[in-house]
Amino acid sequence: MPEPTIQEPVSELDLMAYVDDQLDPERRIAVEDHLSRHPVLAAQIMDDLRQRDELRLALSEAASTISDHRLELPAQRLGRRLSLRIALHRNRRAIAASILVGAGWLAHSMFGGVGADPASAAHILPVYADEAVEAYRNVLVEARYDAVPWGRGEQERIAAPAADAGATIPLPHLPAAFAPVASHPVSAGGSNAVQMLIHGPDDELLTLFAVETDSFSIEPPHAEAVRDVNVAYWQSGWFAYVLSGTGDQKELLSLASRLSR
């Protein structure tokens, strides 16, 4: 093994990167050590640093004299759109979490000993409640701005972006009173999943999460309230469904029953 070099010589590029604050601490110290032994060079570097600071100040001063008046409106519009992008990004993560609420609850109620009683779902829901509610609210915000950037909904089968490209999730047949607005494939813990945005019979906004499970079962819908958002779960074969909305819990259960037939 060759002996490690004690110190590589300081180069012009090092000096430039020093001025631009782009060196790691170790190299920075080496450059400073070098400069301490070369006062002429140190003075030049100081000049470069001063020049950099003067440029920042000069441009800032000149730029700040220009009124932002003309920018207010476009900046507001852009800010709103970017906020929605952020909300959507969070929403996608929250959707995955809220699907787990449904899938977890189903698995728990079907296979878990103490979880056989649907009431025990209340112990599971609060774990994801915030994200589930946030997901639904984000959808509402996006819908309000007509900014849901998903593909148009397909009522029957929508391909999900899973490792198995051939995998699809059967979505319930929507009665005529339900109008699909958009659909968005998501990945939930390695499972195929789809979120659909639906206008209900009274034009209320609903989200339907559909997720592939690893257990076959037929379970009728059950409803739970998570603060101001109601959710209804059911399972049909290998697939679990979670319907969310702000309407009356009984009504949501009734809608879920219509969808689950």
Partner 1 sequence: MHPLLKDHILPLRRYALALTGDADQSDDLVQETLARAIEGAGSWDPRRDLRKWLFGIMHNTHASGRRRRSLEKSVAGEIAAMSSDSAPASQFTSVHFSETIASLMRLPDDQREVMVLIAVEAFSYKDAAEMLNLPIGTVMSRLARAREALRAEQGRVEQGRPDESSHRPDLRLVR
Asked if 3 is part of the footprint of partner 1 (rule: CB under 8 A), the reply reads no
| Sequence-separated (6 or more) residues with CB below 8 Å from residue 89 | none
63, 114, 163, 218: which one contacts partner 1 (CB under 8 A)? 63
Q: CB of 26: closest distance to partner 1 in angstroms?
A: 7
> Smaller CB distance to partner 1: residue 19 or 107?
19
The one among 33, 81, 156, 215 contacting partner 1 by CB under 8 A: 81
x/- binding map, residues 12-51, to partner 1, per CB under 8 A? xxx-xx-xxxxxxxxx------x---x-xx--x--xx--x
User: Minimum Å distance from CB 58 to partner 1?
Assistant: 4
User: Of the two residues 135 and 232, which places its CB atom closer to partner 1 in the complex?
Assistant: 135
CA separation for the pair 150, 162 (Å, rounded): 17
The residues in 141-170 that bind partner 1, with binding defined as CB under 8 A, are: 149
Using DSSP, state whether 197 is helix, strand or coil.
strand
How distant, in Å, are the alpha carbons of 71, 90, 155, 243 from that of 85?
21, 9, 26, 23
Task: Pick between residue 25 and residue 166 the one whose CB is nearest to partner 1.
Answer: 25
CA angle 7, 10, 12 (to 5 degrees): 160
DSSP string, 177-189: T-EEEEEEEEEET
Toward partner 1, which CB reaches closer, 92 or 222? 92
Token pair of 50 as six digits: 């001063």
Q: Closest approach of Cβ 135 to partner 1, in Å?
A: 16
Nearer to partner 1, 12 or 202 (CB): 12
Site string for partner 1, 171-210 (x = CB under 8 A): ----------------------------------------
Please tell me the count of residues contacting partner 1 according to CB under 8 A: 59
| Structure tokens given for 149 | 């950037």
DSSP structure string for 84-151? HHHHHHHHHHHHHHHHHHHHHHHHHHHH-SGGGSGGGHHHHHHHHHHHHHHHHHHHHHHHHTT---SB
Which pair of tokens denotes residue 123?
């112990």
Cβ proximity to partner 1, 34 vs 108, nearer residue: 34
One-letter amino acid of 151: G
Is residue 225 close enough to count as binding partner 1 by CB under 8 A?
A: no
Contact predicate 197/153, CB 8 Å: yes
Q: Which is nearer to partner 1, 11 or 215 (CB)?
A: 11
Cα–Cα distance, 259 to 126 (Å, whole number) = 25
Rounded to a whole number of angstroms, the minimum distance from the CB of residue 40 to partner 1 is 4
Residues that bind partner 1 (CB under 8 A): 8-14, 16-17, 19-27, 34, 38, 40-41, 44, 47-48, 51-52, 54-66, 68, 70-72, 74-86, 89, 149
